[in-house]
């Protein structure tokens, strides 16, 4: 019997991260197998609907106007282009279509246009997720009425390390948006980015923050930093692969009913590392050759990998959070 907890102590999380690797994966896989089909992967596709010129100073992001990157600002995509992208994603097996806009927070006028996109994608029979920055309670309610399934708003890292990466919004701002989304009755998608120079304690604190929310996020994306030229983190040392897999395993143990998603950084992971992540409890991934502005493995490679592992893509009808 799995007990859901929202009272994790930091030393408990650190102890899990420091367990012998085989013991940790064994525990995580047992939990994963009890809650989910271990041979199914939920597949999402992510589209940047408004790229660049973001006023935030996130040290990892190519879309920040404060970072000197090659990303060119673009206006909000037209509705028909979004619909065509969603249709293409559906045809290759994606069940959730995620849309991201490089805003600090959306204006009500911009939100109206995003709502049109949400409604159009839902008509295709797909789940919808958006990430638009900070929201007001009124905006969260409007998204709920529109039928939005998930709202993504990552905590990124620990409260203590956060200021080393971002200064234009506070950690509490992020928690407030998550609370607003949850109060509106929208599923929460929230995770973090690893490999930004944080310590193991910071990684433990990130998981503690996520698991100790009043209700666990339904979706937990775990990103491996993609260092982008022109950002403050462009020369950050890569995270050890086993440390990344440990985070997947501990996320599964602490949030047993969440979809734990392999997100950014998969192009740097070999097939064996991804297979270990799946065994450790990752049961969702972003699918398609682009994640906002960074590369991602192509669909053919992912299909071949899943076939080699005897795994299959989860169908929408089986989705627990549909």
Q: Catalytic: which of 129, 203, 246, 277?
A: 129
Q: Which of 61, 90, 113, 169 is catalytic?
A: 61
Contact 209, 203 (CB under 8 A): no
Secondary structure element (H or E) that encloses residue 193, with its range: strand 192-194
- Pairing relation of β-strands 294-295 and 290-291? antiparallel
Joined together, the tokens standing for residue 10 give 């930091």
Nearest alpha carbon to residue 167 among 151, 156, 177: 156
Catalytic residue among 58, 203, 246, 252: 58
**What backbone torsions phi and psi does residue 19 show, to the nearest 5 degrees?**
-65, 155
For the chain, the C-alpha Rg in angstroms (whole number) is 18
Structure tokens at 207: 């998981």
Known catalytic membership, residue 189: yes
Kindly name the residue from 174, 246, 261, 266 that is annotated as catalytic: 261
- Residue in 96, 189, 246, 266 annotated catalytic: 189
Answer yes or no: 277 catalytic: no
Catalytic residue check, 261:
yes
Instruction: State whether residue 296 is helix, strand or coil.
Output: coil
| Residue of 96, 98, 169, 174 marked catalytic | 98
Catalytic-residue membership of 54: yes
Distance CA 102, CA 315 (A): 30
Residues noted as catalytic: 54, 58, 61, 98, 129, 189, 261
């Amino acid at each position: 019997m799995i007990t859901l907890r929202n009272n994790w102590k930091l030393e408990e999380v650190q102890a899990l991260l420091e367990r012998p690797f085989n013991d940790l994966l064994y525990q995580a896989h047992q939990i994963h197998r009890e809650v989910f089909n271990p041979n199914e992967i939920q597949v999402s596709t992510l589209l940047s609907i408004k790229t660049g010129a973001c006023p935030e100073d996130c040290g990892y992001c190519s879309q920040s106007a404060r970072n000197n990157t090659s990303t060119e600002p673009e206006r909000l995509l037209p509705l028909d282009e979004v619909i065509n992208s969603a249709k293409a994603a559906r045809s290759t097996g994606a069940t959730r279509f995620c849309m991201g806009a490089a805003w600090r927070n959306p204006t009500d006028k911009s939100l109206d246009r995003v709502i049109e996109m949400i409604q159009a994608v839902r008509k295709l029979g797909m789940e919808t997720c958006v990430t638009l920055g900070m929201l007001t309670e009124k905006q969260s309610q409007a998204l709920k009425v529109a039928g939005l399934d998930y709202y993504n708003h990552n905590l990124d890292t620990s409260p203590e390390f956060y200021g080393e990466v971002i200064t234009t919004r506070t950690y509490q701002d992020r928690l407030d948006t998550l609370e607003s989304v949850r109060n509106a009755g929208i599923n929460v998608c929230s995770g973090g980015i690893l490999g930004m120079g944080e310590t193991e304690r910071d990684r433990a604190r990130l998981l503690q923050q996520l698991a100790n929310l009043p209700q666990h996020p339904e979706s937990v994306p775990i990103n491996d930093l993609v260092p982008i030229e022109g950002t403050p983190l462009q020369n950050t040392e890569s995270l050890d692969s086993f440390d990344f897999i440990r985070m997947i395993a501990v996320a599964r143990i602490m949030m047993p009913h969440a979809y734990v998603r392999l997100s950014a950084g998969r192009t740097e992971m070999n097939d064996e590392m991804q297979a270990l992540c799946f065994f450790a409890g990752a049961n969702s991934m972003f699918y398609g050759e682009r994640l906002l502005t960074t590369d991602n493995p192509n669909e053919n490679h992912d299909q071949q990998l899943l076939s080699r592992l005897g795994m299959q893509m989860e169908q929408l009808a089986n989705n627990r959070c549909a």
